[in-house]
């Protein structure tokens, strides 16, 4: 399989004109974060908005039998390994610059539809400085949409996470992807609370805020790893302490939580798990949508 469109369809994604989006096979993706297209010289263009490296995505596609071992699209064969490294560094710098500019152009969520979006999810805790709002955020479909812009700390560079929302704040925008990262995000997290207690790690921003809205007590440091893959690869603080891992209640999320827990235990952390009912997350629990197994 060599056509970019064929890859998108094989991954059960969405093709839009000359490019498409699909769930990334290189990490535990629940929402489409992988952009796929073809460059002017025939090379395959892959961009995981969760931060997966091109080589990792390529390897995952090959493991699924979607690319041969000697694909015509192999970027290192198209432009050479040295040029590839230069191009990747330039792309990282460009995306990091875009992330910083986006963050600096965003403003407080107070009194905006971002605040309405959060309240509609049943979240009552105060929103942290790490979450801002922008009314006309660029989307890969070339639309301009309102969005929450969240600062990602602990990654190798400057990165932000975008959640696109409807113009009335009633939910996520009806676009694909509805969430996307910008900049080198792997290993990082959105820190929604910095407290003296244990470190609590959830998957999504809304689930992390839900935990802070009455599900857990006491001042804690609460982080949103942004995906199951992000939870699995999270960079932990150097000094071990207490860690509570609170994944979504599905197989991918629980597997990622167990992976993080095992790694943290080996580093000297005192680890516990907080798992919601099967098929739900902590926002479902907060608003009463979760059904006990």
pLDDT value of residue 225: 97
Q: What is the DSSP letter of 172?
A: B
End-to-end C-alpha distance for the chain, whole angstroms:
41
Other CB atoms within a 10 A radius of the CB of residue 218 amount to: 8
pLDDT tens, residue by residue, 124-176: 999 999 999 999 999 988 899 999 999 999 998 999 999 999 999 999 999 98
Q: Output b/e per residue, 102-118; b: 16+ Cβ within 10 A.
A: bbeebeebeebbbbebb
Ordered by where they begin, the domains of the chain are: 4-79 (no CATH), 107-186 (no CATH), 187-293 (3.40.1360.10)
CA–CA separation, 59 and 75 (whole Å): 12
Spatial distance between the Cα atoms of 37 and 20, rounded to a whole number of angstroms? 7
Q: Which of 269, 268, 284, 263 is nearest to 213 (CA)?
A: 284
Phi/psi of residue 267, nearest 5 degrees: -95, 0
pLDDT on residue 81 = 55
Q: According to the model, what pLDDT value does residue 53 have? A: 73
Mean pLDDT of residues grouped by 10 in the chain (293 residues)? 76 82 79 78 75 76 71 45 65 87 96 95 95 94 94 94 96 93 92 93 97 91 95 95 97 96 98 96 89 47
Question: What is the pTM assigned to this prediction?
Answer: 0.76
Q: What is the DSSP string of 45-78?
A: EEEETT---HHHHHHHHHHTTSS-TT-TT-HHHH
- In eight-state DSSP terms, residue 121 is T
> Looking at residue 292, what is its pLDDT?
47
């Amino acid at each position: 399989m060599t056509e970019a469109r064929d890859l998108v369809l094989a991954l059960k994604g969405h093709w839009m004109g000359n490019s498409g989006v699909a769930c990334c096979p290189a990490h535990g993706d629940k929402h489409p974060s992988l952009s796929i297209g073809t460059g002017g010289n025939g090379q395959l263009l892959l961009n995981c908005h969760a931060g997966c490296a091109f080589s990792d995505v390529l390897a995952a596609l090959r493991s699924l039998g979607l690319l041969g071992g000697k694909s015509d699209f192999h970027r290192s064969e198209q432009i050479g390994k040295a040029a590839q490294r230069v191009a990747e560094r330039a792309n990282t710098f460009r995306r990091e610059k875009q992330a910083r500019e986006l963050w600096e152009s965003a403003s407080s969520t107070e009194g905006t539809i971002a605040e309405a979006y959060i309240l509609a999810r049943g979240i009552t805790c105060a929103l942290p400085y790490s979450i801002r709002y922008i009314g006309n955020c660029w989307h890969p479909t070339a639309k301009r949409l309102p969005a929450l812009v969240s600062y990602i700390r602990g990654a190798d560079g400057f990165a932000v996470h975008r959640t696109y929302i409807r113009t009335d704040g009633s939910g996520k925008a009806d676009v694909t992807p509805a969430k996307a990262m910008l900049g080198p995000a792997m290993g990082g997290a959105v820190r929604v609370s910095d407290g003296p207690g244990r470190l609590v790690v959830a998957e999504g921003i809304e689930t992390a805020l839900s935990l802070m809205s009455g599900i857990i007590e006491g001042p804690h440091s609460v982080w949103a790893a942004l995906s199951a893959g992000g939870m699995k690869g999270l960079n932990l603080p150097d000094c071990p302490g207490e860690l509570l891992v609170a994944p979504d209640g599905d197989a991918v999320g629980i597997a990622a939580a167990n992976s993080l827990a095992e790694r943290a235990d080996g580093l000297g952390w005192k680890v516990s798990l907080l798992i919601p009912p099967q098929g739900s997350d902590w926002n479902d629990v907060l608003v009463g949508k979760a059904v006990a197994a």
